[in-house]
């Protein structure tokens, strides 16, 4: 049996990123779990190994381009990059500053660009990049700066897909809706019952729902799919009134 191909998952130390890393490892990849929180990355790798998979932890600040280039340069046979790491906070429009936008874009878009550029230089034909956007890209009150950064990720994804198509590298994005994670439950503005009531099916998503979509887009089964932004939100983005 040949050596396993490598996937890198940023923000893989918890929540959605951890689920993505576990899914890709179960699919047979050697998964590099990159996270600002080294202990969280290590915990994810331990779970991968307990399930019989292969993984390595990497402490990484994705805004450090030199560290990003070093990590990707050491990844053997890189077939997939999943850009999951990002930041989020809640601020009303009248309290936002230009620095809030700069901080959000620096992590959610500029750092993502650096990861993609570095990965595209070493990926073979058949490689794939999956970016994590958000349903918030369609518009969201109380976090205009976050919503616009994720709308930018969607535009970046579609444009990069055109740039990398001649190299045989596919680029797609998954846009999660409300996903029940520890981070969501810990937020001071979270009312899970109210959030469920807004869902057409009355249920919130799970990290595994997002991981399954990423696994599919990263797989050979999706070889004819590029430049797409897949909404995984339980139908919330459909709008309209329930029952009418």
143 belongs to the catalytic site: no
pLDDT at 217 over 50: yes
Q: Is residue 1 a part of any domain in this protein?
A: no
Q: What is the DSSP letter of 142?
A: T
The domain containing residue 172 runs over which residues?
6-235
29-79 tens-digit pLDDT: 999 999 999 999 999 999 999 999 999 999 999 999 999 999 999 999 999
pLDDT of residue 189: 65
pLDDT of residue 244: 39
Q: Is 58 helix (H, G, I), strand (E, B) or coil?
A: strand
Query: Are 235 and 183 contacting, i.e. CB atoms less than 8 angstroms apart?
Result: no
- Of 146, 171, 176, 181, catalytic: 146
Q: Is residue 15 a part of any domain in this protein?
A: yes
Q: Is residue 157 a part of any domain in this protein?
A: yes
104-135 tens-digit pLDDT: 999 999 999 999 999 999 999 999 999 999 99
Count of domains observed in the chain: 1
Q: Which of 29, 30, 26, 33 is nearest to 52 (CA)?
A: 26
pLDDT of residue 243: 43
Q: Is 212 helix (H, G, I), strand (E, B) or coil?
A: helix
pLDDT of residue 99: 98
Q: What is the CATH number of the domain that holds 188?
A: 3.40.50.720
The C-alpha angle 132, 207, 64, rounded to 5 degrees, equals 40
Q: Is residue 121 a part of any domain in this protein?
A: yes
Q: Is residue 107 a part of any domain in this protein?
A: yes
Q: Is residue 243 a part of any domain in this protein?
A: no
Q: Is residue 240 a part of any domain in this protein?
A: no
């Amino acid at each position: 049996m040949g050596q396993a191909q490598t996937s890198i998952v940023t923000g893989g130390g918890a929540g959605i990123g951890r689920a993505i890393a576990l899914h890709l490892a179960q699919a047979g990849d050697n998964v590099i779990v990159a996270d600002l929180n080294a202990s969280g990355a290590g915990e994810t790798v331990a779970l991968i190994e307990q399930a019989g998979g292969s993984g390595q932890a990497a402490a990484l600040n994705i805004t450090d381009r030199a560290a990003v280039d070093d990590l990707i340069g050491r990844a053997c046979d890189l077939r997939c990059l999943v850009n999951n790491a990002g930041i989020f906070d809640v601020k009303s429009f009248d309290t936002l500053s230009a620095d809030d936008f700069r901080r959000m874009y620096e992590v959610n878009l500029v750092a993502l660009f650096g990861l993609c550029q570095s990965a595209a230089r070493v990926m073979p034909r058949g490689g794939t990049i999956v970016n994590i956007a958000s349903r918030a890209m369609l518009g969201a009150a109380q976090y205009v700066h976050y919503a616009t950064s994720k709308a930018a990720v969607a535009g970046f994804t579609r444009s990069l897909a055109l740039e990398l198509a001649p190299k045989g590298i596919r680029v797609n994005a998954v846009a999660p809706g409300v996903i029940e994670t520890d981070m969501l439950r810990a937020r001071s503005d979270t009312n899970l019952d109210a959030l469920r009531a807004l869902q057409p099916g009355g249920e919130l998503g799970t990290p595994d729902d997002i991981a399954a979509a990423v696994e599919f887009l990263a797989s050979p089964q999706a070889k004819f799919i590029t430049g797409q932004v897949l909404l995984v939100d339980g139908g919330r983005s459909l709008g309209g009134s329930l029952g009418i």
